[in-house]
Amino acid sequence: MVKKRRVELNTIEAINLKVSELKIELAKFKGMLASKTKSNNTAKKKQLKKEIARLLTRFNQLNKPKPIVLAKPKIAKPKTEIKKK
């Protein structure tokens, strides 16, 4: 099992820049595969797609609005006793 790489980018601009670079690289690689050029790394296409997906997931996490949590008053509940036989 392979350990997943963690996304280290923490700014939206840096993530957008990296995603655009990876998409260009993926397009070049797809062009190479379409032209029947031999490739040394056949799994590169899959790796690029996964890396783009990880970055977009991180991007969405940063853009997601933080939920506002309102404190609910605690209501005292009567304790019920459980009888053992």
Q: What is the pLDDT of residues 38-52, one digit of tens each?
A: 778 878 899 999 999
pLDDT of 85 higher than 70: no
CA–CA separation, 39 and 29 (whole Å): 9
More confident residue, 66 or 6: 66
Q: Tell me the pLDDT band of 83, cut-offs 50, 70 and 90.
A: low
pTM value > 0.95: no
CA–CA separation, 9 and 4 (whole Å): 15
- Pick from 27, 25, 20, 14: nearest CA to 59: 14
